[in-house]
Structure 1
Amino acid sequence: MKRGLADLWDLVWQAVMLACAAFGLLHVFAPPQDLPWRPLDLDQPLGRATAAKVARFDLSPDASPEQVGKATDACLRLLRDGGVRGERAQDRDDGGFCVVRGAVRITGGAVTPLAPANVVMQCPLAVRYVLWDRQVLQPTAREEMGAAPARVRNLGSYACRRIYGAQDEAARPSEHARANALDVAGVTLTDGRSISVQADWDGEGPAGMAGSRLLHRVRDGACGVFSTTLSPDYNAAHADHLHLDGAKRGVCR
C-alpha cells in the first residue's frame, strides 16, 4: 500500500514538473498575444488571447460605482500607456435599457481620429477600435491604397434603441443603447482620397477595386477584434456602414 502511494506521488510530481516546464516554455517562446496571462499590449499583433484580454475590462450590468470606476480607470491607463489620449465621459441614463456607464472619449494621440470626433463609447470598445486601427486598418490602407488613413468616418456609437430601430418590445436592445457599438461609414486617406462603404463596397465606386478590397479586408480583420462585425453582406440595414460592437456574444458576417 505504501509503495502504491509512493508511486502515485511520484507520477503526480512528474506531471507537475512537466506542466511547469511546459508553462515556462510557453511563457518564453510563445507570442505574448496568444497567452492569456500576459498583459495586453496595443502594439502587439492580434492573437488568440487578444479578445479575452480586452473582455476583462467589460462591465457587468450590476457593477457598483466603485467597480465601474476601477475598471474604467484601468482601461484608460491601458490606452494612455499605448500612446492614446482619452477621458472619462459622463454617465448617462435615458431610462430602461438605455444606460451608459464607464464610457470614454478618445481625444488624440497615436490613433486614427474619428470623424465626427468626441464619440462616446464603452472603454473596452475604444480599446478594440485602437487595436483594429493599428493592427488592421493602417497596414491594410498602406498595402491597398498606398496611403495611411487620416480619419475614420463614423455614424456614431450611442443611440437609445432596439436592434434595427425595432419598436417591438420583444426585440432585444441594440449594443448602441450602451454605447458599445461603433458604425464605420468610411475612411479618408492622408492624400485626400475617400473610401465609402456605401459607394465602394462592390468595387464599382470611385475608389475602385482597391477600395473594395480594403473594406473587405478591414471587415474581416475586425472579426478578430470585435464581438460582432456586420457589413453590407449581412443585410440591407448595413449597406452604408460596418457595425462593430463588443457584445458578450457576437457574429461575424
Structure 2
Amino acid sequence: MLMADVAWAGLDLSLRPVGRAGTGARNVEALAERPLEAQLHLMAVASIGTSSSLRPTLRPNGVVTQAMARKNKRLKGAVCGDPDIQGEVVGRVPGKLNGCGVENAVRVRNVAGITLSQQSVMDCGTAKALKKWINKGAKPAVGSKGGGLSGLKVAAHYSCRTRNNKAGAKISEHGKGRAIDISGLVLNDGRTISVLKGWHNADSKTMRSAHKKACGPFGTVLGPNADRYHQDHFHFDTARYRSGPYCR
C-alpha cells in the first residue's frame, strides 16, 4: 500500500497537458490554466468553427441548371447583340414606296424586361434607343405605381407610308424602321395609363415625365402638345437634326 501511494505521488494528477516544443507551447499552457470545463468548451467551439467556416455551401444542382437555362434562353432570343432586346432577326424589308424599307430589320417583343403589346419591326438603332428610354425614362417615371412598369401599348411601328398619311408628304420615319408609337404604359397590377387620358388626369406627372425623358434617346419626340395627330400617343423616332432633338 505504501509503495502504491509512492507510485501515485510520482504522477501529476493536475490534468495539465505537456506543452509541445515550439510556438504552440504557450497556447497550450494558457489553455491548461483554465478550469477543465472551460477547456472542453473552448475545444468544442474551435472544432465546430473549423469544420463549418472553411467549407462553402454549394448551390443545389437544380438551381444552377435553372439559372443556366434562363441565361441560354435570353441569349438565344437576343437581337442587336443585346440580351436585353428580345425578338428575332427579319433582315431586309423592301418598301412599296420609294424611300421606304429597312436594311437590317428586327422584330422586337421585349425590351429590358418590358413586353411590347405587339411585336414591332424596327432597326437596331431604334431598338437600342427604346431600351435607353425604358431604363432611364419610362421605368423611373412610373416608379412603384401599380407595382411598376410591365409593358408598353404599341400603336404603330414599321409602316411604309408618308408622314401622317398625307398624300405627297415625305416618307415617315415609320417607313424606314426608325419609329415607334406608344399609346400607353402597362403596370404590373394590370392597369394601363393611356396617353389620351393620362396626359391630363392624376397620372399627368408620370406621362409627362416619360415623354420628357424620351428627348435625347430619340431625335424626334411628339405628344399631345405637338399637334392634333398625337393626342392619343407618343411618337418616337431616331432621326437626327443638326440643331439637336426635336421634342414637342
- Superposition TM-score, scaled by structure 2 size: 0.63
- The reply to whether residue 136 of structure 1 matches residue 131 of structure 2 is no
One-letter amino acid of the counterpart of residue 99, structure 2: F
Contact 1:76 1:86 in 2 (8 A): no
TM-aligned CA deviation for residue 85 of structure 1: 2.7
Structure 2 equivalent of residue 247 of structure 1: 239
Partner of 1:183: 181
Match of 1:199 in 2: 197
- Cα 1:239/1:107, change in 2 over 3 Å: closer
8 Å CA contact 1:102–1:122 kept in 2: the answer is: yes
Cα offset, 1:226, TM superposition: 0.4
| Alignment deviations for residues 30-73 of structure 1 (CA, whole Å, 9 cap, x no partner) | xxxxxxxxxxxxxxxxxxxxxxxxxxxxxxxxxxxxxxxxxxxx
The alignment partner of 1:234 has SS state of coil
Is the 1:156–1:183 Cα contact (8 Å) retained in structure 2? yes
Maintained 8 Å contact 1:185/1:196 = yes
| Deviation of 1:184 (Å) | 0.2
Counterpart selection for 1:112 from 86, 92, 114: 114
Identity %: 30
Q: Which consecutive unaligned segments of at least 5 residues does structure 1 have? A: 1-74, 204-208
Structure 2 unmatched runs, 5+: 1-78
Higher strand share: 2
- Counterpart of 1:138 in 2: which secondary structure? helix
Query: How many Å apart are 1:229 and its aligned residue?
Result: 0.3
* Alignment partner, residue 152 of structure 1: 152
AA partner of residue 121 (structure 1): M
Asked if structure 2 preserves the Cα contact closer than 8 Å seen for 1:111 and 1:134, the reply is no
Residue 111 of structure 1 deviates from its aligned partner by: 2.7
Greater RCO structure (CA 8 Å; 6+ sep): 1
Aligned to 1:10: none
In structure 1, what is the equivalent of residue 125 of structure 2?
Answer: 124
1:161 counterpart SS class: coil
Q: Which amino acid aligns with 2:157?
A: S
Q: CA RMSD in A?
A: 1.9
Distance 1:229 1:178, change over 3 A: same
- What TM-score do you get using the length of structure 1 for normalisation? 0.62
How far 1:173 sits from its partner (Å)?
Answer: 1.3
Q: Return the letter of the residue paired with 1:165.
A: N
Say which SS state the counterpart of residue 139 (structure 1) adopts. helix
C-alpha deviation, 1:147, in angstroms? 2.5
